[in-house]
Chain A
Amino acid sequence: AQKVTQAQTEISVVEKEDVTLDCVYETRDTTYYLFWYKQPPSGELVFLIRRNSFDEQNEISGRYSWNFQKSTSSFNFTITASQVVDSAVYFCALRNYGQNFVFGPGTRLSVLP
């Protein structure tokens, strides 16, 4: 069975702090894809990143970085120097090849000025 766990329900940080959102997944497949989506107050889910199971290279995009570790089945997301506009609900998701998304419950991030 596939499962995604985001243990942090809510996180609050002060602007300019770094914050890491945790994501742990479970799957028996060897080919799978991991995603992060952002849901700002406007409601839509905004795609942030996709990573396949064969690529464990960490990725950095501006203030965002992702740490994929197969050994611990984790795909953590770090925001450096957080800003108020980063306040949102962040979803981690797993998709096995040929199958549909399994989402985590989401982590609500509040960045305070």
Chain B
Amino acid sequence: EAGVTQFPSHSVIEKGQTVTLRCDPISGHDNLYWYRRVMGKEIKFLLHFVKESKQDESGMPNNRFLAERTGGTYSTLKVQPAELEDSGVYFCASSRAGLAGLETQYFGPGTRLLVL
């Protein structure tokens, strides 16, 4: 089966611009997660979708970040306007429905965002 895919693989934008990242989860996976790794630090949770609903968005840093998952399939993460500190690698992961902590999350290759 195809893995989690993310687009674009790299994005370089200027401060103040808008960027939209896309994640296509593994087919049939209800759970979709966004994470990011900033400046080589630890990977941090951003939010969790169950189908099209936001289950937990406690990790979203501020209101410049907007995530959507219309139809419960792919998800987008928009950063508007982008700031320098938003630079990092944004990972998406998906998993089957199941008891929290038990299902294995499969990660995509990440989108490397650089804000100049």
Q: Which of A74-100 contact B (CB under 8 A)?
A: 91, 93, 95-100
Q: How far is the CA of A45 from the CA of B106 in the complex (A)?
A: 8
Report how far A47 CA is from B109 CA in the complex, Å: 13
Cα A99 to Cα B100 in complex, Å, equals 7
Query: How many Å from the CB of B38 to the closest CB on chain A?
Result: 11
B64 adjacent to chain A (CB < 8 Å) = no
Q: How many residues of B contact A (CB 8 A)?
A: 28
Chain A stretch 34-73: residues in CB contact (< 8 A) with chain B:
37, 42-47, 50, 52
CA distance A44 to B112 in the complex (A): 12
B8 → A minimal CB distance (Å): 12
- A44-B108 CB under 8 A given contacts A103-B42, A103-B44: yes
Beta-carbon contact of B101 and A37 below 8 Å:
no
Give 21 pairs: A residue, B residue, CB < 8 Å, sorted on A.
A4-B42, A33-B101, A43-B9, A43-B89, A43-B109, A43-B110, A43-B112, A44-B3, A44-B108, A44-B109, A45-B43, A45-B107, A47-B104, A52-B101, A96-B101, A97-B100, A101-B33, A101-B35, A103-B42, A103-B43, A104-B42
- Closest Cβ of chain B to A103, distance in Å, is 4
Separation of A45 and B1 alpha carbons in the complex (Å): 17
Chain B residue with Cβ nearest A97: B101
